[in-house]
Chains A and B, each alone.
Chain A
């Protein structure tokens, strides 16, 4: 977890020297501190605020996957929420049909990844804006179909999803879902980190810059793109599965197109292609939206204030970050820090 950003060739290489060797220690400390805080937060938060934390963690799970897709494979998905939706419906359908709930949680990422693998065969021939529109189209089609079909409950959706039970333990409390989501996020971060720092990870970064150059260096471009697409969909499916058990119902309205856009905002703001960026983006946007919601629902505010405020902030953030911090908050901040620490020994 700690070295995810450090190991990328972008932040190393240029600044070799004494500062480089000292760095892992504070980074490990930082990661440990974040982990401790993340573990303590559910206990310290008042019970009413825990739900925000759970939703934040679920968003972070999806965003880590999407960030890998956007930052390492260079593909924009404007329909990532469709895989969250597939995961959620898989879990809900399994559980409401009398099968064990843990099976539902297990199937959610598997089915989402399988769907992505299937759709990805024709879809990943497209690149750039075409892929963006194609993924958006997939989600619009899925929303329309799910809203019509009988076995998905139509527009009303599936209600009465039982609580998750694993080996006799029932996840009944809010706080238990916070730890479940935290565990899932930890797993997702570990998997992503191992991929990013491995040989395939370098291949992915190569194909994000130029598919032709990567292919001529022996990177199996199509297979890698397919694998990352499926993996990011699997992450989204996992988050969707936990969401279904946590909220207790799923409906097409729970996974609007706006949710997909929200994931993209989180990736772009945090910084695509870094795990820390994904975590920071998800945290910053969720907290900001919560704050705006608090302001918007105060007395004297018009009824539409929360929506207007959140749209305005999404828009402003996207425009400002893309134009002025194109690499996102976290990579820009680490680059600034690197410059500072690299220049100090020379002065002294």
Chain B
């Protein structure tokens, strides 16, 4: 029983990380229709930067915040390259973000080397009903809850958030109201970068990351986001939590190396079920 609770909490914590990543993916996709392959890279950049800043002597908290800002900057840069040139189709932009991911690999290896890195987050563990749970897990869950609440307020109440939603639902109508979809796309990329960076900052103390962790992170984030058709953050949150818990249970009761297999199989199943409900005509009309 205590083991189950332990797996559940750590699964939810990891799932929260995926949820942040996925919400960044959703934010960018809603506004720009670009599936950002470099989303996992933001998490790696965030985590690595936080580690470096902490070891450089910045106080905890400030280092993490700075790392999230750096990841947001990386997001903005990716957005400028991927969508800045007029007439880049979302399909080509996917390949461009793949290329930017490679460029980031080069920079990351130059700066941080190719070994996995980690740093102590919120140290220690607490015992709840006989289950040892790392304090960092609770921190991840708490921060994610706050961030999702803030996102809901941002998209529902603030002017900038409403402008982003307007571009998502109808770019043409948004433009007639004086909103520049291109600029809003860049805002979405910066926001997505910051969310990805936050995921990296929170997850790195739980599981060490290296420069090529981004492939697994992006596939997990995509798996979570695709549940809501890449357009609904709340569904992505639910998907990410399911994914995190499923992986944690497989790793706990089965074998750790099969946890990604389970996650990926889940993603494939979801995509196929969704695809069977949509015809080619609907998809081409949506383009």
- B281 nearest CB across to chain A (Å): 5
Which residue in chain B gives the minimum CB-CB distance to A326? Answer: B92
Closest to A122 in B: B272
- In whole angstroms, how far apart are the Cα atoms of A144 and B255 in the complex? 12
Q: Shortest Cβ distance from A222 into chain B, in angstroms?
A: 10
B99 and A317 contact, CB distance less than 8 A: yes
From residue A285, how far is it (CB to closest CB) to chain B in Å? 12
Q: Is A180 an interface residue (CB 8 A)?
A: no
Question: Does B120 touch A at the CB level, under 8 Å?
Answer: no
In the complex, chain B residues 45-78 whose Cβ is within 8 Å of any chain A Cβ: none
Chain A, interface size: which category?
35 or more
Q: Specify which of A140, A261, A311, A322 is in contact with B103 (CB 8 Å cutoff).
A: A311
Count of B residues near A, CB < 8 Å?
Answer: 45
- When distances are taken between beta carbons in the complex, the residues of chain A under 8 Å from B105 are 311, 315
Residues of A contacting B267 with CB < 8 Å? 133-134, 137
> Known: A137-B267, A312-B106, A318-B102. Contact between A129 and B95, CB under 8 A?
no
Query: Could you say which of A30-38, A56-64, A207-215 contacts chain B?
Result: A207-215
- Per-position 1/0 for B91-108, Cβ under 8 A of A: 110111011111111100
Q: How far is the CA of A164 from the CA of B256 in the complex (A)?
A: 38
Task: For residue B54, give the distance in angstroms from its CB to the closest CB of chain A.
Answer: 23
Over the window 143-175 of chain A, the binary record of Cβ atoms lying under 8 Å from chain B Cβ atoms (1 yes, 0 no) is 011011000000000000000000000000000
A140 close to B102 (CB less than 8 A): no
Residues A144 and B258 in contact, CB atoms below 8 Å apart: yes
Complex CA–CA separation, A137 to B222 (angstroms): 11
Is A323's CB under 8 angstroms from B96's CB? yes
Across the interface, name the chain A residue whose C-beta is closest to B102.
A315
Q: Contact: B226 with A130, CB < 8 Å?
A: yes
Asked if A48 is an interface residue, CB under 8 A from chain B, the answer is no
Interface check A333, CB cutoff 8 A: no
- Of B94, B102, B261, which one neighbours A129 at CB under 8 angstroms? B94
- Mask of B35-48 contacts with A, CB within 8 angstroms, 1/0: 10000000000000
Min C-beta distance of B224 to chain A, whole Å? 12
**Nearest chain A CB to B99's CB is how many angstroms away?**
3
Name A's interface SS: helix
Q: A221-B280, A318-B96 are in contact. List 8 more A-B contacts (CB 8 A).
A: A126-B275, A133-B222, A134-B271, A144-B257, A144-B260, A148-B258, A261-B102, A323-B96
Question: Inside 8 A of B99's CB, which chain A residues have their CB?
Answer: 314-319, 322
Q: Report the separation of the CA atoms of residues A129 and B37 in the bound assembly, to the nearest whole angstrom.
A: 10
Does residue A18 face the partner (Cβ distance < 8 Å to B)?
no
Residue from A134, A304, A309, A317 whose CB has the most chain B CB atoms within 10 Å: A134
* Chain B residue, CB-CB nearest to A136: B219
Q: Does A23 contact B (CB under 8 A)?
A: no
The 8 Å CB contact of A133, one of B88, B91, B102, B219, is B219
Most buried by A among B35, B261, B265: B261
User: Separation in Å of the B116 CB from the closest CB of chain A?
Assistant: 15
Is A311 a contact partner of B85 (Cβ separation < 8 A)?
no
Can you spell out 28 A-B residue pairs with CB atoms less than 8 angstroms apart? A123-B268, A126-B272, A127-B280, A127-B283, A129-B35, A130-B275, A134-B268, A136-B219, A141-B265, A148-B255, A148-B257, A264-B98, A304-B109, A304-B114, A308-B106, A311-B103, A311-B105, A311-B109, A315-B101, A315-B103, A315-B106, A316-B103, A317-B99, A318-B96, A318-B99, A322-B99, A323-B85, A323-B88
- Cβ-based interface call for B264 (8 A): yes
Shortest distance in angstroms between A126's beta carbon and chain B's nearest beta carbon? 5
A115 close to B (CB within 8 Å) = no
Q: A125-B276, A211-B284 are in contact. Are A311 and B106 (CB under 8 A)?
A: yes
Contact of B281 among A125, A212, A315 (CB under 8 A): A212
**A281 to B26 alpha-carbon distance, docked (Å):** 33
Complexed CA–CA distance, A308 and B111 (Å): 10
**Does B110 have its Cβ within 8 Å of any Cβ on chain A?**
yes
Q: Give the CA-CA distance A138 to B187 in the complex, in Å.
A: 33
Which of B81, B95, B106, B257 is close to A264, meaning CB atoms less than 8 Å apart?
A: B95
A348 within 8 A of B: no
Contact between B280 and A215, CB atoms less than 8 A apart: yes
| A261-311 contacts to B (CB < 8 Å) | 261, 264, 268, 304, 307-309, 311
A147, A215, A307: the one contacting B109 at CB < 8 Å is A307
Q: Is B215 in contact with chain A by the CB < 8 A criterion?
A: yes
Shortest Cβ-Cβ A-B pairs, 5 listed: A318-B99, A315-B103, A315-B102, A312-B106, A311-B106
Most-contacted residue by chain A among B215, B267, B268 (CB, 10 A): B268
